[in-house]
Every structure is written in C-alpha cells, then in structure tokens.
Amino acid sequence: MAARKPAKSARAKKSPSRSASSASTASSASRTKPAPRKKAAASQPLALSEASPSLTVGDLDASLAFYRDVLGFVVEQTWDEGGKVVGVSLRAGNVAFWLGQDDWKKGRNRKKGEGFRIFCMTKGSVDDVAKRIQAKGGRLDQGPTDQDWGVRDISLTDPDGFKITIANVKR
C-alpha cells in the first residue's frame, strides 16, 4: 500500500521571498491586519473567582436556622413569592451559600445531599469553629482532625444531608 501524502493546510503560509522592506512599501489600504489568533480551548485554564452552592432544601426555616444560628452565616438577601420567603443568600467571609425551598414538584421523598460535599477553607482555628458549632447545638460528624494532606478539618451534615467540611492549613 502506498503512503498517503499529508493533506495541505487550509491556512496560507508566509512567502519567504517577500522581504520586510517590500511588505512595508505595500499600500496600507490594500493590507488587512490578521485577526488575533485564539488560543486552543484546551490551553485556556478555567479562571473562577468565587463559587456559591445553591441548595434545594426541604424546610427553609430549619436550614436557615442551621446555617445562620449554628454555623454563623449572615443573611444577605431573601427572595419572596406571594409574601412567603422561598430563598435566601447567606454569607460567611468570602463564601456565599444560596438556599431555596423545595417546591416538591419532583416528589416529597427526593433525597438531598447524597454524594455531595462542600469543602470550605477558613483562616480561623478549626478547633474554635467546632466549639462554637457544638455550643450552638450543632453536631459534628468528625471533630477536629489533622489530615495527611496538610489540613486540620471538621465535618458536619446539614438538616437535608448536605455534607460540609471546614478546614484550615496546618501550621
């Protein structure tokens, strides 16, 4: 079987015979500036500056009490429908969580939080965070623990089963 000749590129190649001086004497009206070249999609890293989980919850009042009163989030904004609060935006430092009341259109037995963990970093002491959570009636799934990958963390579960890890870098 004969080897196939590679297909020619559709892109025009620069002519080596044209010198820089002859290019500069060409009429500027007849020249067009080439469009800027786009980088290949694979070479452009995703550059996020913030992430905010939006959680559908079964009992907005219970979830709000947990995130605000036990964990220490602050309510930034609420969303109403027909005079009833159906969603809230909460903030703790640079992190925002959004909670929305389930409308039950997908059924009342729908499980929430399975296979999902929210990993949060803090600059404060994880031990102090754990004590504060427990003092407010919160229950830890895992108390302050030094991990092999260089963090000290705690884990807990919200009223709908969403897993949360709060960690800081070990010093």
Residue 143 inside a domain? The answer is: yes
Give the count of domains, the chain: 1
Residue 121 inside a domain? The answer is: yes
Residue 86 inside a domain? The answer is: yes
Residue 72 inside a domain? The answer is: yes
pLDDT digits (tens, 9 = 90+) for 20-59: 444 444 444 456 666 666 655 566 788 878 889 999 999 9
Q: Transcribe 75-130 into DSSP letters.
A: EEEEEEETTEEEEEEEEETTEEEEEEE---TT-TT---STT-EEEEE-SS-HHHHH
Q: The domain containing residue 65 runs over which residues?
A: 54-103+113-169
Residue 43 inside a domain? The answer is: no
pLDDT digits (tens, 9 = 90+) for 114-157: 888 999 999 999 999 999 999 999 999 999 999 999 999 999 99
Q: Give me the CATH number covering residue 61.
A: 3.10.180.10
The predicted structure's pLDDT at residue 137: 96
pLDDT digits (tens, 9 = 90+) for 76-116: 999 999 999 999 999 999 999 999 999 999 888 888 888 88
The predicted structure's pLDDT at residue 62: 97
